Amino acid sequence: MKQILVSGVIGLFLSLIGTPLLIRLLARKGYGQMIRDDGPQAHHSKRGTPTMGGIAFILATLIAYASTKLITGDKPSMSGVLVLFLTAGLGLVGFLDDYIKIVKQRSLGLRAKAKMAGQLIVGITFAVLALNFHDSRNQTPASTKLSFTTDFGWSIGPVIFVIWALFMILAMSNGVNLTDGLDGLATGASVMVFAAYTVIGVWQYGQWCGAQVSANGACYEVRDPLDLAVVAAALMGACFGFLWWNTSPAKIFMGDTGSLALGGALAGLAICSRTEMLLAILGGLFVLITMSVIIQVGSFRLTGKRVFRMAPLQHHFELKGWSEVLVVVRFWIIQGMCMAVGLGIFYAGWVAAS
């Protein structure tokens, strides 16, 4: 458990002191945010705010994890390394997208096909590797079975698993990207989900098949539950430190660098902890906002009418007259309830099994 505390504290500290250094560097180079002309008018005052802030919490997370292993003397696990690979890999795709936006001074960065190709390469690599690296109990970081609070049903096979993993990775990375429209919204929501995965990792380790089995034989078949908690704690701490500077009025935006990385981290944690479908509840705010875009686009194409004043959903409430801070705080409350319900379902699943 010492590892979890150390990784969280280091991630928080590095992000808290590293983000202002990044702000000064980006401001000096003129790497400011481009603002959509068709967005809420209040957002035009944010033009020029440093972006690519995801660099700060990605580096803080990676350093926190490595430092924790050096301090405690514990070896890195393949599950932890693969989640960090997915986080950093998608962060790199997002960085290229942000950099092109800034250099070419346009609100669109990488072409859609190039961006998708980058996400597919990173996602496929993660999914394939996650089905390898057996431990002494023949467990791999991921399972070819679908999962909710644990694995269930028959194996779907490696090919369908890779497709399923890609769907999750793309859905979550783009979901966080859509949520990242208001100061601190996506960062604060992500902190809550990473906190939930820290709790899940700790609980799974306490009931882990690799250490002990309950009286009736119930336990969690997860390859590296404790190390997943370490990664989640590092991400939680790093995002918390970044939130100090990202909350309204934001001194820096995470950009696609951060949003794609966070979405990848959430999907990776869900896949490796065998809670894939539970992520839709734990990260309910991201799902809600993504659905608002799907509904808006679908309605307009089918009927020519819009359901919301503007999508994603947070902008609908802005145009209804809610202040940015009011939208963010209320959406955080919604995410907090989703996290609480998700953890309740996770615990209920254990009670039912035992």
Question: In this structure, are residues 166 and 201 in contact, taking their beta carbons and an 8 Å threshold?
Answer: no
Question: In this structure, are residues 327 and 314 in contact, taking their beta carbons and an 8 Å threshold?
Answer: yes
Q: Which of 268, 272, 262 is nearest to 226 (CA)?
A: 272
| Burial of 24: CB neighbours in 10 Å, binned 0-12, 13-18, 19+ | exposed
If you search the block for the tokens 């609070």, which residue do you land on?
Answer: 149
Residue 327 to residue 39: CA distance in whole angstroms: 16
Which alpha helices (DSSP H) does 73-184 contain, by range?
A: 78-103, 112-130, 157-179
| Burial of 74: CB neighbours in 10 Å, binned 0-12, 13-18, 19+ | middle
Q: Is 256 annotated as a binding residue?
A: yes
Question: In this structure, are residues 282 and 338 in contact, taking their beta carbons and an 8 Å threshold?
Answer: yes
Q: Is 177 annotated as a binding residue?
A: yes
Residue 14 to residue 257: CA distance in whole angstroms: 18
Which residues on adjacent β-strands are paired with residue 208? Answer: 220
Q: Binding site residues for Mg(2+), as ranges?
A: 177, 256
